[in-house]
Amino acid sequence: MRHAIEIDGLSKHYGPRAVLERFELFVEPGETLAILGASGCGKSTLLRCIAGLVRPDAGTIAVRDELGFVFQEPRLLPWLTVERNVAFAARSDVERARVKDVLELVGLTPAAHLLPKQLSGGMAQRAALARTLVRNPKILLLDEPLSALDALLRLELQTSLAQIVRETGSTAVLVTHDVQEALYLADRIVVLDGAPARGVLELDVPVPLRRSRTADLTDERIALLAALGIEGRVPRRSHRGLRVVAR
């Protein structure tokens, strides 16, 4: 099976600082991959390279399908209503006709005519998600999309996000520093340490644990959390090269 995203030999330097150095990553079609790491490890740069927002110094990025990008902040255009912000991304009549559907999907139909300044943080991020979804992209790049939200709202939106990814059958790459979020949303987790970014740990999330909350802490999950560093810390360097595949 061809990969949805293939990254090979990717390098990016900011001045003398190497953020990415001959980095390699493959994303399978339909999977949700979480890239987990502390701030500054290069995970956001990686995502921005894939989206074309950052021009890498070297390497190839092959993307098989249309991309949608969700930023950490909603980044709505403040002069447009929610509905027109979503319609902003539409390129054709077909996509414009989808605006109402995606607003319904993210639960914002009643807020369609509000301006961004009238929205709560969670509503604004839902609107941003709807703007991305209106093009029906097959690959979603999510750059810490929920980390600016408070804890309860984050849980709620994680649930919506999991549901939306499943319903649309998208491939998703989620960049996060939240271990719980990665475990909840992802099929596969790559832990990065930087800089330059390197994968220090990769694991497949066991099927029974996917989309399940930590409330049901099984021995398996406890072992995984321990391996990942439960507070979102990147595993110690002694883990480098370790590959845990828990089944």
Partner 1 sequence: MAKRPAALALSLAVPAGLLVAWFLATSLGGVKTYQLASPGDVARELGALWSNGLLWRHLAASIERVLLGFGVALAFSIVLASLVGLSRPIEAALDPTLQAIRSIPSLAWVPLLLLWLGIGESAKVTLIAIGAFFPIYVNLVSGIRNVDRKLVEVGQVLGLGRFELARRVVLPAALPSLLVGARIGLTQAWLFLVAAELLASTRGLGFMLTEGQQIARTDEILTAIVLLALCGKLSESIMRAIESRLLHWTDGLPA
Is 111 or 183 the residue whose CB approaches partner 1 more closely?
Answer: 111
* Residue 197 DSSP code: B
18 vs 53, which CB is nearer to partner 1? Answer: 53
Least Å distance, CB 124 to partner 1, is 12
User: Closest distance between partner 1 and the C-beta of residue 117, in Å?
Assistant: 4
Beta carbons within 10 angstroms of residue 195's beta carbon? 18
For 14, half-sphere exposure in the C-beta direction (CA atoms, 13 angstrom radius) is 7
CA distance 4 to 21: 22
Hey, what are 233's tokens? 């810390």
By beta-carbon proximity to partner 1, the closer residue of 137 and 194 is: 137
Eight-class DSSP state of 153? H
**Residues 6 or more apart in contact with residue 191 via CB below 8 angstroms:** 36, 37, 199, 200, 201, 202, 228, 234, 235, 239
Residue type, 213: R
DSSP H or E run through 237: none
Nearer to partner 1, 112 or 224 (CB): 112
Whose Cβ is closer to partner 1: residue 143's or residue 178's?
143
List of residues contacting partner 1 (CB under 8 A): 51-53, 67, 69, 71, 73, 75, 77-80, 88-89, 115-117, 135
Least gap, CB of 83 to partner 1 (angstroms): 14
CB closer to partner 1, 173 vs 203: 173
Q: Minimal distance in Å, beta carbon 142 to partner 1?
A: 12
Nearer to partner 1, 126 or 198 (CB): 126
Residue whose pair of structure tokens reads 């340490």 in the numeric block:
193
What whole-number distance in Å separates Cα of residue 197 and Cα of residue 31? 22
Q: How far apart are CA 209 and CA 173, in angstroms?
A: 19
As measured in angstroms, the least distance from the Cβ of 211 to partner 1 is: 27
Minimum Å gap between C-beta 129 and partner 1 is 13
CA 180 remoteness from chain centre = 14
Minimum gap (Å) between residue 150 Cβ and partner 1: 20
Which residues fall within 8 angstroms of residue 103, CB to CB, at 6 or more apart? 82, 83, 86, 109, 112, 130
